[in-house]
Structure 1
């Protein structure tokens, strides 16, 4: 049992534990979402949904499968995938948008700054969009989101060896692809 395991499992029961967990991870989650959308309101809504989903899933956290950050990235991926798949959820989001609290100018400015900070990562994601889904997912998690191979494998629920092969394949495909300018400097 790690020191983080009791904390993660307690986020749904103890508001103080949740607040500390939220403060520790909100920047990472906001960045994860901002790399995938350019709308500050969507970043705000999805970040909130991710933390709500994390509270609901907290009892399922298993430290042997990765760090709390990696677990939270897995929750974030699931939330984003569900959002994309479900037209009913999109309609619900539009209905909620009409009744939600408006973001004040400072909040919009902070989210726009975060979106601007993630502009290069969104460009990289656009470049790798043509890769096959498996290798692309590992490449995003490792080279864009900063997870380790082990954590990426846990998020994707695949073996570490499979994750390594997919990452190698993705990097090889990127090196072979014609580009106008090198943008993935960390890819080797």
Structure 2
């Protein structure tokens, strides 16, 4: 999916994951224009570094959310969202109108919340704590009184179910 020269597959990747990244970012950023900038820089970095993705390390969405987390940390440190990667890739800035900002607000939370509610409780908790709250596997396992492997499996299954659910909605 993230091959070095295939922009069409990256577009498919973007369409598949943009709402998840937007929901993740919007839970941490209150202004829709800032959320948009973080999402844009996240995907620019993913495009720029697509050859670094290794599927054996986990699902692509987890890799993408890690990039988003790093962009957010960077933005907090700098006091603004960096656009270095977008500039280097010569991406034109996007100017958002009020209507587009409202759409970002609407899209940011509802799909993820609804999708998470459809997961079994154990998977939902594992995904929320690991992916959204970024808790270490060991911490989650200790509090749930199970092994890290069980938590990893719940996260993996939950993310797979979310991906499948999303793909069904797109058809």
Q: Shorter-normalised TM-score: what interval? A: 0.5 to 0.7
CA separation of 1:80 and 1:162: change in aligned 2, threshold 3 A:
same
2:162 alignment counterpart: none
CA separation of 1:32 and 1:17: change in aligned 2, threshold 3 A:
same
Report the alpha carbon displacement of residue 82 of structure 1 after superposing the two structures with TM.
1.5
1:25 alignment counterpart: 17
Report Cα offsets for 1:61-107 as digits up to 9, x if no partner.
121211111111111111111111224xx2867xx9xx954313431
CA RMSD of aligned residues (A): 3.6
2:36 alignment counterpart: 44
- Taking structure 1 as the reference length, what is the TM-score of the superposition? 0.54
Unaligned 5+ segments in structure 2 are 114-124, 146-171
1:143 alignment counterpart: 128
Structure of larger gyration radius:
1
- Taking structure 2 as the reference length, what is the TM-score of the superposition? 0.59
CA separation of 1:71 and 1:108: change in aligned 2, threshold 3 A:
same
SS of equivalent to 1:38: coil
Listed as ranges, the matches of 1:1-188 within 5 Å are 7-8=1-2, 10=3, 12-87=4-79, 90=80, 100-115=93-108, 117=110, 142-143=127-128, 160-161=137-138, 163-165=140-142, 168=144
Question: Do the aligned residues in 2 keep the contact of 1:32 with 1:145 (CA within 8 Å)?
Answer: no
CA separation of 1:106 and 1:68: change in aligned 2, threshold 3 A:
same
Unaligned 5+ segments in structure 1 are 1-6, 121-139, 170-188
Measure the CA separation in 2 of the matches of 1:91 and 1:143.
25
Measure the CA separation in 2 of the matches of 1:40 and 1:77.
16
